[in-house]
Structure formats: structure tokens, C-alpha cells
């Protein structure tokens, strides 16, 4: 099982295979950067990466789709912040939009890495040097990528946490 700091369970592609942990981390960071004032830097990094292995037209399309995704995210965030908005409903909608966008970008990156495994080093560099510094601290900025894997069998138990964990067993 693969876990991420945002509390999502193991990320799996539609074919049931485990998603590449690097694709999961970069996809999550991209969506986190979308809501910042530095979103264009994240977009430039994404387009430059795509341009290395895909035709220019496809890289430009990815950049345009990133901009459209940002607009959807901002609309969801604006709706959640509107005066009189129902907190439970709106925050659930926002959470759903964030989750859907993360899954979309994670899967795109997962497929890109499957086709071009040699991009892993560059993708790691983009995550560490370009995306992570753009993230606000409360969103997991600077070094907050956590990937955990565990396996238990028989009566075994696994406890994992990216932060605080309190276990009380009787």
C-alpha cells in the first residue's frame, strides 16, 4: 500500500497497478502549486518537462490544460470561501476537486514515466528544485513528500503516519 501526506490511500492507475510514487508526489505538488501566486512557474516547469519527450503541440496543450485545471481549482476555492457558504458541503466539493485534479496529473505523469523511465531524475529535480519551494508550508512545502509502503501477513499489524499517530490498544 502506498500513502501520501494528504491522507489519500494507495494511488492506483485505472489498470490496477500501483502508481509510481514520484508521479504521485509531483502530481500532488503541481495541484498544490496551482493555487499559489507562483502557479506560472509550476506551469513552465511542467511544459518544459513535457517538451523534452513530446511534440511541441502536445507540450503546449498540457500547459493549456494546466491553466484550465487551475481555473477549476480557483472556482472551487472561491465557492468554499463565499459568504454564507455551507462549510461541510463546500469544503467537500473543494476536496473532491482537489482529489480529482491530483489523480488526473498523477496518472498523466505515471504514464509519461512508464514511456520514458529516463525522465525520473529530471522529474525528481523538478519536484525538489522547482515545485516544492512554491508550496506554502501548511500545504507540505519543502521536503514534505512522504511515501510509505508496508505489508503485513497473518495477524501482523502495520501502523504508519506522516505526522502524529496515537494508538491505544486494549
Q: Classify residue 109: in a domain, yes or no.
A: yes
Whether 161 is in a domain gets the answer no
Q: What pLDDT score does 6 carry?
A: 38
For residue 156, being part of any structural domain is answered with: no
How is residue 105 written as a grid cell?
496529473
119 domain residue, yes or no:
yes
Give the C-alpha separation, 62 to 52, whole Å. 13
Would you say residue 165 lies in a domain? no
Ramachandran category for residue 43: left, alpha or beta (phi over 0 → left; psi -120 to 50 → alpha): alpha
On the CB side of 55, CA atoms within 13 Å amount to 2
Is 78 contained in some domain? yes
Segment 76-96 mean pLDDT: 63
The domain in which residue 98 lies consists of: 2-149
Q: What is the pLDDT of residues 42-69, one digit of tens each?
A: 999 999 999 988 877 788 999 999 999 9
**Total tally of structural domains belonging to the chain:** 1
Taking the model in full, what pTM does it have?
0.69
% of the chain residues with pLDDT over 90: 44
Amino acid at each position: 500500500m502506498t500513502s501520501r501526506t494528504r491522507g489519500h490511500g494507495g494511488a492506483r492507475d485505472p489498470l490496477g497497478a500501483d502508481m509510481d510514487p514520484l508521479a504521485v508526489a509531483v502530481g500532488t505538488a503541481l495541484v498544490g502549486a496551482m493555487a499559489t501566486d507562483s502557479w506560472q512557474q509550476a506551469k513552465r516547469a511542467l511544459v518544459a518537462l513535457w517538451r523534452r519527450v513530446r511534440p511541441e503541440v502536445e507540450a503546449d496543450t498540457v500547459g493549456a490544460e494546466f491553466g484550465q485545471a487551475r481555473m477549476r481549482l480557483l472556482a472551487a476555492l472561491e465557492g468554499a470561501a463565499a459568504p454564507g457558504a455551507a462549510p461541510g458541503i463546500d469544503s467537500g466539493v473543494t476536496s473532491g476537486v482537489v482529489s480529482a485534479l491530483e489523480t488526473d496529473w498523477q496518472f498523466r505523469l505515471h504514464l509519461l514515466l512508464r514511456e520514458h523511465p529516463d525522465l525520473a531524475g529530471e522529474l525528481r529535480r523538478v519536484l525538489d528544485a522547482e515545485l516544492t519551494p512554491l508550496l506554502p508550508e501548511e500545504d507540505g512545502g519543502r521536503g514534505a513528500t512522504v511515501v510509505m509502503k508496508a505489508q503485513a501477513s497473518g495477524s501482523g499489524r502495520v501502523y504508519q503516519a506522516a505526522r502524529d499517530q496515537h494508538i491505544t490498544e486494549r
